[in-house]
A and B are shown apart, each in its own frame.
Chain A
Amino acid sequence: MALTTATSTKTSSTGESVSTKSPRAWLQQALPKIVLAPSFAITVIFVYGFIIWTIYLSFTNSKAFPNYVLTGSRAYQRLWRWTFESDPPSSWYTSITNMGIFGVLYVVICLALGLFLAILLDQKIRGEGILRPIYLYPMALSFIVTGVAWKWFLDPGLGLEQTLHQWGWTSFHFDWIKNKDFVIYTVVIAGVWQASGFVMAMFLAGLRGIDSEIMKAAQIDGASTLQLYRRIIIPLLRPVFLSAFIVLAHMAIKSYDLVVALTSGGPGGSAWLPSNFMYEYTFKRNEMAVGSASAVIMLMTISAIIVPYLYSELREKNK
Chain B
Amino acid sequence: MRKLFMATAFLAASALTAHADDVKEVQMLHWWTSGGEAAALNVLKQDLAKEGYAWKDVPVAGGGGDAAMTALKAMVAAGNYPTASQMLGYTVLDYAAAGKMGDLTETAIAEGWDKAVPAALQKFAVYDGKWVAAPVNVHSVNWLWINKAVMDKIGGTEPKTFDEFIALLDKAKAAGVTPLALGGQNWQEATMFDSVVLSTGGPEFYKKAFNELDEESLKSDTMKKSFDNLAKLKEYVDPNFSGRDWNLATAMVIKGDALVQVMGDWAKGEFKAANKVPGTDFLCYRFPGTDGSVIYNSDMFGMFDVPADQKAAQIALAKATLSKSFQSAFNVVKGSVPARTDVPDTDFDACGKKGIADLKAANDGGTLFGSLAQGYGAPPAVANAYKDVVSKFVHGQITTSEEAVNQLVQAIDDAK
A235 at the interface (CB under 8 A from B): no
B274 at the interface (CB under 8 A from A): no
* In the complex, number of A-B residue pairs with CB atoms less than 8 Å apart: 86
Query: Are B415's CB and A267's CB within 8 A?
Result: no
**Nearest Cβ on chain A to B181's Cβ, whole angstroms:** 12
Q: Which residues of A contact B388 (CB under 8 A)?
A: 91, 268-269
A266 at the interface (CB under 8 A from B): yes
Query: Are B98's CB and A263's CB within 8 A?
Result: no
Closest B residue to A64 by beta carbon equals: B94
- Residue in B94, B240, B242, B384 whose Cβ sees the most chain A Cβ within 10 Å: B242
**Nearest Cβ on chain A to B67's Cβ, whole angstroms:** 9
Q: Which residues of B contact A156 (CB under 8 A)?
A: 239-240
Query: Are A268's CB and B243's CB within 8 A?
Result: no
Contacts A151-B243, A156-B240, A263-B243; A268 near B394 (Cβ below 8 A): yes
Query: Are A280's CB and B384's CB within 8 A?
Result: yes
Query: Are B63's CB and A64's CB within 8 A?
Result: no
Query: Are B379's CB and A268's CB within 8 A?
Result: no
B152 at the interface (CB under 8 A from A): no
Q: Which residues of B contact A206 (CB under 8 A)?
A: none
Query: Are A268's CB and B397's CB within 8 A?
Result: yes
Contact with B along A143-162 (1 / 0, CB 8 A): 00000000100011100000
**Nearest Cβ on chain A to B167's Cβ, whole angstroms:** 27
**Interface size band for B:** 35 or more
Closest A residue to B93 by beta carbon equals: A64
Contacts A156-B240, A270-B397; A284 near B384 (Cβ below 8 A): yes
- Residue in A63, A178, A267, A269 whose Cβ sees the most chain B Cβ within 10 Å: A267
Contacts A89-B397, A285-B415; A267 near B242 (Cβ below 8 A): yes
Query: Are A269's CB and B380's CB within 8 A?
Result: no
B407 at the interface (CB under 8 A from A): yes
Q: Which residues of A contact B80 (CB under 8 A)?
A: none
Interface residues of A in 178-206 (CB under 8 A from B): 178, 180
Query: Are A178's CB and B397's CB within 8 A?
Result: no
Q: Which residues of B contact A151 (CB under 8 A)?
A: 243
**Nearest Cβ on chain B to A174's Cβ, whole angstroms:** 12
Query: Are B384's CB and A283's CB within 8 A?
Result: no
A78 at the interface (CB under 8 A from B): yes
Query: Are B98's CB and A267's CB within 8 A?
Result: no
Closest B residue to A67 by beta carbon equals: B98
Closest B residue to A177 by beta carbon equals: B243
Q: Which residues of B contact A155 (CB under 8 A)?
A: 240
**Nearest Cβ on chain B to A182's Cβ, whole angstroms:** 11
A260 at the interface (CB under 8 A from B): yes
**Nearest Cβ on chain A to B305's Cβ, whole angstroms:** 14
Interface residues of A in 234-289 (CB under 8 A from B): 260, 263-270, 280, 283-287
Query: Are B242's CB and A178's CB within 8 A?
Result: yes
A65 at the interface (CB under 8 A from B): yes
Closest B residue to A82 by beta carbon equals: B414
**27 sample A-B contacts, Cβ–Cβ < 8 Å, listed by A number:** A63-B94, A63-B381, A64-B91, A78-B414, A91-B388, A157-B240, A175-B240, A178-B184, A178-B240, A178-B242, A180-B395, A180-B397, A264-B245, A265-B185, A265-B186, A266-B243, A267-B395, A268-B397, A269-B186, A269-B392, A270-B395, A283-B73, A284-B63, A284-B380, A285-B380, A285-B384, A285-B415
> Apart from A88-B399, A264-B245, A286-B381, what are 17 other A-B pairs with CB-CB below 8 Å?
A65-B73, A65-B98, A178-B239, A178-B240, A178-B243, A180-B395, A180-B397, A266-B243, A267-B242, A268-B388, A269-B388, A269-B392, A283-B66, A283-B69, A284-B384, A285-B380, A286-B94
The 3 closest A-B pairs by CB, nearest first: A268-B395, A267-B395, A64-B94
